[in-house]
Amino acid sequence: MASAQRLRARIREEVKQEIIDRARDQLRESGPGGLSLRRIMRDLEWAPSAIHRYFPTRDDLMTQLIIDGFNAIGDVAEHADAQVARDDYLGRWMAASRAVREWAVNHPHEYALVYGSPVPQYSAPEETVQPATRDKAVFGAILSQANAAGRVHLAPESGATTKAADEDLNRVREAVLPDVPDHIVRAAIVAWAGLYGIVSLEVFGHFNHMIEDRATLFDHAMAMLARGMGLGV
Q: Which of 14, 21, 127, 167 binds a second copy (CB under 8 A)?
A: 167
Q: Which of 53, 79, 206, 220 binds DNA (CB under 7 A)?
A: 53
Q: CA-CA distance, 93 to 135, in Å (whole number)?
A: 12
Q: CA-CA distance, 145 to 150, in Å (whole number)?
A: 9
User: C-beta of 57: minimal distance to a second copy in Å?
Assistant: 18
Query: Is 7 a binder of DNA (CB under 7 A)?
Result: yes
Give how far Cα 127 sits from Cα of 138, 147, 173, Å.
Answer: 19, 31, 22
Query: Is 233 a binder of a second copy (CB under 8 A)?
Result: no
Query: Is 145 a binder of DNA (CB under 7 A)?
Result: no
User: C-beta of 50: minimal distance to DNA in Å?
Assistant: 4
Query: Is 47 a binder of DNA (CB under 7 A)?
Result: yes
User: C-beta of 6: minimal distance to DNA in Å?
Assistant: 10
User: C-beta of 46: minimal distance to DNA in Å?
Assistant: 4
Rg, C-alpha atoms of the chain: 21
Q: Which of 65, 186, 230, 231 binds a second copy (CB under 8 A)?
A: 186
Which secondary structure element, helix H or strand E, spans residue 16, and what is its range?
helix 2-30
Provide the residue type at 140 as one letter: G
Query: Is 36 a binder of DNA (CB under 7 A)?
Result: yes
- Contact between residue 156 and residue 130 where contact means Cβ atoms under 8 Å apart: no
User: C-beta of 166: minimal distance to a second copy in Å?
Assistant: 9
Which residue number, 14 or 167, has a Cβ lying nearer to a second copy?
Answer: 167
Give how far Cα 60 sits from Cα of 36, 66, 74, Å.
Answer: 13, 10, 21
In whole angstroms, what separates CA 229 from the centre of its chain?
Answer: 20
Give how far Cα 221 sits from Cα of 74, 183, 194, Å.
Answer: 21, 20, 8
Query: Is 18 a binder of DNA (CB under 7 A)?
Result: no
Which residue number, 45 or 213, has a Cβ lying nearer to DNA?
Answer: 45
152: β partners:
231
Residues in CB range of 93: below 8 A, 6 or more apart: 139, 142, 143, 222, 226, 231, 232
Query: Is 31 a binder of a second copy (CB under 8 A)?
Result: yes
Query: Is 20 a binder of DNA (CB under 7 A)?
Result: no
User: C-beta of 10: minimal distance to DNA in Å?
Assistant: 12
Residues that bind DNA (CB under 7 A): 1, 4-5, 7-8, 12, 15, 35-39, 46-54, 57-59
